[in-house]
C-alpha cells in the first residue's frame, strides 16, 4: 500500500494537490473577473502592488518578485507605461538595467483597485476565521519551502 493511502481511497495528497490547484485557479479567476470589470487585470494589479510595496525597482527584481519571465514582464510594463501607470528609466550604474516606478496615475489606480481586490478577498476567504487563514498561510509557506518558488526547474 502507498504511503498516505488507505484501504478505501486514493492517496489524500493527490486529491489535495488537485483541490489546491482548482482553489488557486478559482480564487485568481474571481479576482481577474473583478479586476476586468474595473478595466484592469491581475497582472497589472500584482505589478502595481509590488511597486507600491517595494518602491522603485529594477525590472529584473520586479520580475523575480512576481515570479515571471523577463520578456513577459516587459510586455506588461510596456502596456502599463503606455497607460501612464509606470515610468521606466535606465540606471546610471548599469545602462542595461531599467528602474520601474509608479506614476501618480499608477498610485491612484493602485488605490482604486485595492478596494476591489479587498472585496474579492473577502469573498474568497468567507467563512474562514483569522486563525484558520493564518494556519492555512503557514501550510502554504511550508509547501513552497519544500519545492521552492514556481519555476521551470524544480528545487529537487
> Total domain count for the chain?
1
How many Cβ atoms sit within 10 Å of the Cβ of residue 107?
A: 14
Q: Is residue 17 part of a domain?
A: no
How open is the CA angle 102-106-110, to the nearest 5 degrees?
110
Higher pLDDT pick, 86 / 98: 86
Answer for the pair 48, 106: CB distance below 8 angstroms, yes or no: yes
Higher pLDDT pick, 69 / 3: 69
CA distances from 115 to 45, 95, 110 (A): 12, 37, 9
Q: Which residue, among 137, 133, 111, has the nearest Cα to 122 in the 3D structure?
A: 133
d(CA 133, CA 9): 28
Q: Is residue 8's pLDDT more than 70?
A: no
Tell me the residue range of the domain where 80 lies: 29-145
**pTM summary value:** 0.78
Lowest-pLDDT choice from 7-11, 48-52, 81-85, 133-137? 7-11
Q: Is residue 89 part of a domain?
A: yes
Q: Residue 67 is part of a domain; what is its CATH number? A: 1.10.10.10
d(CA 38, CA 152): 32
Q: Is residue 1's pLDDT more than 50?
A: no
Amino acid at each position: 500500500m502507498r504511503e498516505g493511502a488507505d484501504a478505501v481511497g486514493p492517496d489524500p495528497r493527490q486529491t489535495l494537490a488537485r483541490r489546491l490547484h482548482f482553489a488557486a485557479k478559482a480564487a485568481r479567476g474571481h479576482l481577474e473577473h473583478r479586476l476586468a470589470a474595473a478595466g484592469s487585470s491581475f497582472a497589472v494589479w500584482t505589478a502595481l502592488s509590488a511597486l507600491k510595496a517595494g518602491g522603485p525597482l529594477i525590472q529584473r527584481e520586479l520580475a523575480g518578485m512576481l515570479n515571471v519571465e523577463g520578456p513577459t514582464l516587459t510586455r506588461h510594463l510596456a502596456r502599463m507605461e503606455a497607460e501612464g501607470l509606470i515610468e521606466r528609466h535606465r540606471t546610471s550604474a548599469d545602462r542595461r538595467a531599467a528602474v520601474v516606478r509608479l506614476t501618480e496615475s499608477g498610485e491612484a489606480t493602485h488605490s482604486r483597485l485595492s478596494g476591489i481586490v479587498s472585496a474579492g478577498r473577502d469573498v474568497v476567504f468567507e467563512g474562514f476565521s483569522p486563525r484558520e487563514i493564518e494556519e492555512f498561510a503557514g501550510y502554504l509557506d511550508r509547501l513552497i519551502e519544500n519545492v521552492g518558488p514556481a519555476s521551470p526547474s524544480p528545487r529537487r
